[in-house]
Amino acid sequence: MGPFEYKGIIIDNFGCDPASWNNHGSIEEFKGQWYVFYHRSTNNSQKFRKVCIEPILINEDGTIDEVEMTSQGAGSPWYLE
């Protein structure tokens, strides 16, 4: 709802994909949990993409800690099972 202040990186693909080319996405809440949605390359090509999702935590002060980029889909991550 703003105003917003730039405080750093939520998710960074530096070194993850060919030429570290792209990870733009969005943040959404689903059933009380916040997630960052993004895409990564697949088949070692910028022409093929896969959708990924990571849970995020919004701290008391409104900041969001950086999230590790993985290949997790929309299912439960291993650490919640």
Backbone angles phi, psi at 18, to 5 degrees: -55, 125
Domain boundaries, the chain: 22-74
Q: What is the pLDDT of residue 59?
A: 92
Q: What is the pLDDT of residue 2?
A: 74
Measured CA to CA, the distance from residue 25 to residue 13 in angstroms comes to: 12
SS3 content of the chain, % helix, strand, coil (to 5): 5, 40, 55
CA 3 to chain centre: 22
Q: What is the pLDDT of residue 38?
A: 84
The C-alpha angle 64, 22, 13, rounded to 5 degrees, equals 50
- Write out pLDDT tens, residues 7-24: 888 888 776 766 656 667
- Write out pLDDT tens, residues 22-72: 667 789 998 898 998 888 777 777 777 778 888 898 999 989 999 888 766
**pLDDT higher than threshold 60 for residue 79:** no
